[in-house]
Every structure is written in C-alpha cells, then in structure tokens.
Amino acid sequence: EEWKDRGAAVSIQRHVDSNGNQTHRIVKKGVQDFNFGRTLGEGSYSTVLAATDRQTLTEYAIKVLDKRHIIKEKKVKYVNIEKNTLNRLGDHPGIVRLYYTFQDERSLYFVLDLATGGELLGFVKKLGSFDEECTRFYGAQILDAIEYMHSKGVIHRDLKPENVLLDEQMHVKITDFGTAKILDLPSQTRTSNTDGKTQLDRQEQDFANNIGIPDHERANSFVGTAEYVSPELLTDKSACKGSDLWAFGCIIFQLLAGRPPFKAANEYQTFQKIVNLEYQFPPGFPKVARDLVERLLVLDPTKRLTIENIKSHPFFEGILWGKQLWKQKAPRLK
Ligand code: ATP
C-alpha cells in the first residue's frame, strides 16, 4: 500500500503523423525499458546507476532503493518525501528532475537527470578552494535553485556541497530531497507562524532528534554531516526557509576557504560552535564575500539576508539572474 504509485511513471508522448495529425500516447516505463550501466555511487539505502532508455537512447541516473532495507530502517516516510518534493520541483534547470518512478518486487526505481560531473564537493577537494569568479557563478546557480524551491514551498534542510551535483555543462543540479520539508502553499495555509517558521510535526521532530542527540548507535542516520545545520534547528528544533540560507552562507565560505566554517572533532563540538557562532575567516578571504557571509551566518533567522538582498549584494555584482544564468558558460574551475 505504501508503495502505491500515483502515476509518476507515466509520461505523455506526442506523435505527429505524415498528414500532420497529432496523437498523444501515454508511456509507462519499467525496468525493462532501460539498459543499466556503471554505478555512479552508493547511499545508505540506495545505489545509483547510469542507465539508457532503450527507445530514445536518453541517458539517466537511476536510483535503486531496496524496499526491505527501507522498511526495516523505517525510512519509508523519507523516500516518499523525496519523491513528492521532486515531483513538485519538476521544472528548474538547477534541480535534479525526476522523470519516472516504478518498482519491482525487490526495489523502487527513481529515474533522474544524470549529473555526469559528480558532486561539487569533489571539485572543492581537488582544487583546495575556488577563486571569486567560480564561487560567484556556482553560488549564483545554487541561490537561483533555492529561490525556485522556496517559491514552490520546499525547504531543502540539507544543503551542502555533496548535494550539489554538476551536469555535462558543469552547471548545478541540486539533489537529495529526502529530508526536505514541504510547506503548505499559501492557499492552503494551516500551521505556518507569522515569522515563517513551521510548527513541529512528527517528521520534523524525528529529524531534530536524529541530529540533536549524538548517538553512536545511529551513526548512519540520514543527516550525514553536522556542519551545515542551522542554529535554530539545534535550539528550537525548527527549520524555516532561512535555514537553507544559513547553509548557503556555509557553502560560500567553504568554496572560498576550502573548509566549512564550523568544523570540529565530533558532532557535539560542531553544534557548540554553531550555536555560539564561533568561526574565523582565513587570511586573504575576499572582503565583499566576508560581508555577505557575515550577513548570512546570523543566529536569528529573521535577521539573515533574504534571497532578494543576496542577489543585490555587491558580491554578486554582474550576475544575470533567472534564465540567463543557465545559458551561461561555466567558468573553468582552477
Ligand atoms: P545517503 O543516502 O547515505 O545520504 P546519498 O544521499 O549520497 O547518501 P544517493 O542519493 O543514493 O545517496 O546517492 C549515492 C551517490 O550517487 C552519491 O554519491 C551521488 O553523488 C551519486 N548520485 C546521486 N544522484 C545522482 C545523479 N542524478 N547523477 C549522478 N550521480 C548521482
């Protein structure tokens, strides 16, 4: 019952015959429609494989999730969150798109955009850090994608350079929506407070518990790294859109400095640093970028820059926002 597919495996194909008559065909895809290739990576509950649609020869990344493992580890809810958010975010170049979902007896399959460049984190590690031009470009693409997801009522809650993938063109594709929060859209507002925070529901409570209590039994809980967690999640156990902008500030810092701002020997010490706003800029950190980061890494989420403020900050001077940003050639990483 839990796995009931609500039609995401279906796509509509338009066909025009020699007389110019249009017909539409509903296409239901399944495992047999793809050739599976190399393994792109492994998650705690999934394996991601490169695959080609046999008919169209289009390449995808297919995430294969083991049903028994997910049920045993009580992650059904998070798999559903990932699918539902991706379905809601179907139309932005900076977000991994979900094309089809289907299943067989053993596994669930998510057919996704293939991000051939891999994780942004890989490039940061390889290069040590990014220069201002590259940070500006990747920062702008990440921010544009955040703006879109927030406009669709989605808070990501786990933004970090591992979850920023790169496509063939070396453009950003944000992934990993398994811990996202879907807000009620304005027309159906239910539990939103005036300050934009959402009430703790069960899902959010579990999330806070999982990261708030360092528990070695749960070493493999779904929040992999503590470094990007916002202070409000640690103190009030609540996340808001501003929590993603905190993580965005951490990412900008990391691209330029080569390390995240809050990093310690263990999760507990990292959390201490976060709630005490204890971080330092390395020597030579660009001044305009420092100003931006200082206005994002603010403990009170209501006092952080808004997305509009960030877009007009001097650090992003010269960036063409919106569609233009995605037509631009990525600067060579150096
Ligand atoms: P965990 O579930 O443990 O948090 P994860 O979120 O990284 O891990 P997956 O989403 O299954 O797990 O991804 C596993 C690996 O596959 C990652 O290293 C990621 O880089 C790679 N990967 C995921 N999606 C894609 C994609 N669309 N294109 C290319 N590689 C991908």
> What integer is the mean pLDDT of 251-276?
97
Confirm if 292 and 310 have CB atoms less than 8 A apart.
yes
Residue listed under structure tokens 């580890």: 73
Model-level ipTM above the cut of 0.90: yes
108 CB under 6 A from ligand 1? no
Amino acid letter for position 102: F
Show Cβ contacts of residue 259 under 8 Å, excluding neighbours closer than 6 positions.
Answer: none
Strand, helix or coil for residue 82: helix
- The span from the CA of 207 to the CA of 273, in Å, is 20
Nearest CA to ligand 1 atom 19: 41
Give the pLDDT confidence of 12-34 residue by residue, as tens digits: 667 888 888 888 877 789 999 99
Least confident interval from 45-59, 148-162, 223-237, 242-256: 223-237
DSSP string of 29-51, one letter each residue: --GGGEEEEEEEEE-SSEEEEEE
Q: Output the pTM of the full model.
A: 0.85
Query: For 144, how many CA atoms within 13 A lie in the half-sphere containing its CB?
Result: 23
Residue 121: other Cβ atoms inside 10 A: 15
Can you list the alpha helix ranges (DSSP code H) found in the chain?
A: 67-72, 76-88, 120-127, 132-151, 202-212, 231-235, 241-257, 267-275, 287-296, 307-311
* Phi/psi at 26 (5° precision): -90, 125
* Phi/psi at 253 (5° precision): -55, -50
- The span from the CA of 209 to the CA of 120, in Å, is 28
pLDDT value of position 42: 95
Q: Which atom of ligand 1 is least distant from the CA of 47? A: 11
Ligand 1 mean position, distance from CA 110 (Å): 12
Catalytic positions: 158
Give the pLDDT confidence of 296-332 residue by residue, as tens digits: 999 999 999 999 999 999 999 999 999 999 999 999 9
113 CB under 6 A from ligand 1? yes
Q: Which atom of ligand 1 is least distant from the CA of 116? A: 29
Nearest CA to ligand 1 atom 17: 41
CA-based nearest residue to 310, from 295, 330, 325: 295
User: Hey, which bits of 175-224 come out as E strands?
Assistant: 181-182
Ligand 1 mean position, distance from CA 41 (Å): 6
Amino acid letter for position 150: H
35 CB under 6 A from ligand 1? no
* Sign of the torsion formed by the C-alpha atoms of 230, 186, 199 and 180: negative
Residue 6 binned pLDDT confidence (cut-offs 50, 70, 90):
very low
Residue 192 binned pLDDT confidence (cut-offs 50, 70, 90):
very low
